[in-house]
Amino acid sequence: MDILKKKFFDKSSQLRTELKALRKEHGQKVVDDVNIAQIIGGMRGIKSMLWETSVLDANEGIRFRGYTIPELKEILPKRAPDGKEPLPEGLFWLMLVDEIPTQEEVNWLSDEWEKRADIPSSVFKMLDSLPEDTHPMSMFIMGINALQYDSIFAKKYAEGMSKADYWDATYEDSMNLLARLPRLAAYIYRKVYHDGKQIEPDNSLDWAGNFAHMLGIGSEDFKSLMRLYLTIHADHEGGNASAHTAHLINSTLADVYLSYGGAMSSLAGPLHGLANQEVIKWIVEMTEELGTTKPTNDQVKDYINETLKSGKVIPGYGHAVLRQPDPRFTAQRLFAEEYIPDNDFVKIVWQLFEVVPPILGALGKVKNPWPNVDAHSGAILVHYGLTQYTFYTVLFGVSRALGVMAASCWSRALGLPLERPKSVNSLWIKEQINNS
């Protein structure tokens, strides 16, 4: 058994025993109320699922196993020569076993993923057969599903695997799929935007650095950006649409290829991960309409009001849980301040941070007028030459895999059951009101 798997087995066995006892002794304790607005309003805030890897606070933002993003930037292992940004391998380790890994442990994980990264040519052939205008996220989802034939969980289940071994097969599938995702995503990028001229992996690099290399943007600064980007987008507790989709599908004992593929379908919606492409598209259209990349605040205000008047949302602003600027936005802002402070699009992103919140606040209905994770990424990616914004949600998806896979391992190790909340109809709601 490898070192990470052994640690995971020990930790998850212990929690499984604890949770069993806790449920037996305290299972009937009431911990939350639900009101009608929550039922009609997309189950907002209803506490109803177990998710170990991260917790989101409305004001403070995300904590991964108790650590904020600035703390992770300090303590997760890094890589020379830049050595400033955390390695996503370290975050996966932390989410999976609740320990900050050593440099050696992270190097082991990079090597392990490198060994597992091969993708069969049948998957590439399938992608090559798709119509040229297929959206990269659809290609990504099809690629993930095309890899499912190789699921260890699915094979072992068909052979009669014991419940006690579900965690093991899920761990192996998760490690294999995580290893393959940068290659799959880079293949799609090079196929769609660079005439199919592929770049072979550089196995001396780490997971994110190699991804940057295979995309064809090999500068050290871009590799650093990818390390940061793939770390901060990884997990946002379990209730967000992509993570929750994975959790629901995986609870049926569908393997992680199927559940993560489903998560990516959720991420592909414009109210969720597709917002990152919508933000830069909206900014580029603004500069084109105004004829300048250095607009005044009044010009920007007019453009925002025009967007709102036409019945659209301001992409990159608002959040279902957060009530402050998203720390993932701030992390990207700090990166841009350090590396590319003079970029015009970056400056527009900062200008929007000043101009948008008062306008959204004045509408009186927007619960969070502050920027979310998607408000910043596009401007930085464009600077480094990744201008093809229809690819941006794939980048987000590669990162989200870290959280979804770690959480899926925990779900199977803890023996979490099939998810099955109760739905109600409007008649039932009216009866509750009349009976109260």
- Kindly write down the DSSP assignment for every residue of 399-416, as one continuous string: HHHHHHHHHHHHHHHTT-
How many residues of this chain interact with ligand HAX, rule: CB under 6 A?
20
Q: Cβ 141 to ligand HAX, closest distance in Å?
A: 16
According to CB under 6 A, which residues from 354 to 413 bind ligand HAX? 360, 365-368, 372-374
Query: 391 phi and psi, to 5 degrees?
Result: -90, -15
Q: Which of 236, 247, 319, 376 is catalytic?
A: 319
Q: Cβ 236 to ligand HAX, closest distance in Å?
A: 8
Q: Which of 236, 244, 247, 272 is catalytic?
A: 272
* 354: its two tokens: 């000043």
The reply to whether 319 belongs to the active site is yes
Single out the residue of 136, 318, 327, 357 in contact with ligand HAX (rule: CB under 6 A): 318
Residue 362 burial class via C-beta count within 10 angstroms: exposed 0-12, middle 13-18, buried 19 and up:
exposed
Contact call for residue 77 and ligand HAX (CB under 6 A): no
In three-state secondary structure terms, 299 is helix
11 or 281: CB nearest ligand HAX: 281
For residue 130, what is the DSSP state?
S
Residue 146 burial class via C-beta count within 10 angstroms: exposed 0-12, middle 13-18, buried 19 and up:
buried
| Sole residue written with tokens 């925990």 | 410
Single out the residue of 22, 37, 271, 429 in contact with ligand HAX (rule: CB under 6 A): 271
Residue 36: count of CB within 10 angstroms of its CB = 12
279 or 406: CB nearest ligand HAX: 279
Contact call for residue 300 and ligand HAX (CB under 6 A): no
4 or 355: CB nearest ligand HAX: 355
Q: Which residues contact 211 (CB under 8 A, 6 or more apart)?
A: 182, 185, 186, 226, 230, 398
Reference 254, options 182, 173, 175; nearest CA is: 173
Query: Which span (47-55, 267-275, 286-294, 411-419) binds ligand HAX, by CB under 6 A?
Result: 267-275
Contact call for residue 313 and ligand HAX (CB under 6 A): yes
314 or 402: CB nearest ligand HAX: 314
Q: Give the residue numbers marked as catalytic.
A: 272, 319, 374
**Positions that interact with ligand HAX (CB under 6 A):** 271-273, 275, 313-320, 360, 365-368, 372-374
